[in-house]
Amino acid sequence: MLRLIAFSNPRMAQAFVDYMATLHIDIEVRHQNNQVELWLADELSEQTVRRELQQFIDNPNDPRYLAASWEAGSSNANIAYRREYTFASLRSQAGPLTLIIIVICVAVYGLMQLFGDDTLFDLLAYPANSGQYIQIWRWVSHAFLHFSLMHILFNLVWWWYLGGPLEKRLGTGKLLEITVLSAILSGYGQAAFSGSLFGGLSGVVYALMGYCWLSGERAPERGVYMQRSLMIFALAWLAVGYFDMFGVSVANAAHIAGLVVGLALAWWDTRSSKRLNKQ
């Protein structure tokens, strides 16, 4: 048996399984850590299957996949769909670091409401001068500062959506690496651009966006990805930030720096992927 890929979206997994069935190639479905894994029994078909898989990932909304589901799909498909989101189900889709960062951000935001933004900002903000450089927590802790409910909700939803599956699939160490590097470097980029008056997890979030998207493009077998449509949205939102269309201060430099960090790490981690070596 040859493992092909893991999807976090069961509908996508079933669509590809149905399409391969129309080509008379059987794909076995397995459930692992809230992921749907696809396995190929006939390894002689690997080249064909991987070529089709890449085309599917590039354009999963192609009408031929919907047609294949109508033709080959069955009412007893063995992929289960979640129909409700309880706290337990949301927690099960995130690893320990994902949950810890959420708790820290919420706790810091709560303390900011109690004691004022300035109190927490003075303690956790990015180093403002050489005297603060040795306070090493500041290089990362600025990511925990959020200045409105919308700000923290936006960042934490993306953090959970991207960081949770990544940690489940690639491990806590990999998520920690991306988080620390992107927090430090996105903070450095934003401080060079506007000084130390900023905060938020968005630099890290953009790093996760870049990492998940490029990993999915270059090495889908790793099981982490981000849809191209969402990546286009992220880039559009990045562009909007430069035009101050909503009257909200946006840490544009942090976003760009985080995105570059994520793309660079993804490129490095996928440089020896089996799929790329075959091309």
Instruction: Tell me if residue 255 is catalytic.
Output: yes
Instruction: Tell me if residue 146 is catalytic.
Output: no
Sequence-distant (6+) residues with CB within 8 A of 134 are: none
- Residue 73 CB neighbours (<10 A): 15
Question: 3-state DSSP call for residue 32?
Answer: strand
User: Which of 218, 172, 80, 191 lies closest to 125, judged by CA?
Assistant: 191
Q: Which of 8, 45, 186, 255 is catalytic?
A: 255
Distance CA 34, CA 46 (A): 25
Give me the count of residues in the chain: 279
* Start-to-end C-alpha separation, the chain: 22
Q: Which of 74, 202, 229, 272 is catalytic?
A: 202
Positions marked active-site: 202, 255
